[in-house]
Amino acid sequence: QLYYGVEAGMEGGPDPEMRGPMDWERAVPGEPEFDRLRELLAIRRERRALRIGDFVRLDSESLLAFARKTDRVSESVFVIANPSAETVRE
């Protein structure tokens, strides 16, 4: 899920559910978080499976790993992310 401020690198502070006012100066093209989010949204737009595909959990102890698949156009997308700063080998 995307919450306001993600594009500006904002976090919730001590309470992740409560964010401060939007930092509009950091929510502009050229800022790393903004540009990265723009890239990810473009990938989602281009890949039908990421929008409407069935969710398939992939087993992994250390990684966030899942697939999204569509039968209609037989497209599959695999997403594998390392949520930690440490290198993971599986």
Structure tokens at 28: 């502009």
Residue pair 68/76 in contact (Cβ under 8 Å)? The answer is yes
Q: Give the global pTM.
A: 0.69
Structure tokens at 75: 């497209």
Please tell me what DSSP assigns to residue 8: G
pLDDT at res. 46: 94
Low-confidence ranges of the chain (pLDDT < 50): none
- Per DSSP, what are the bridge partners of residue 61? none
Residue pair 53/82 in contact (Cβ under 8 Å)? The answer is no
pLDDT at res. 17: 67
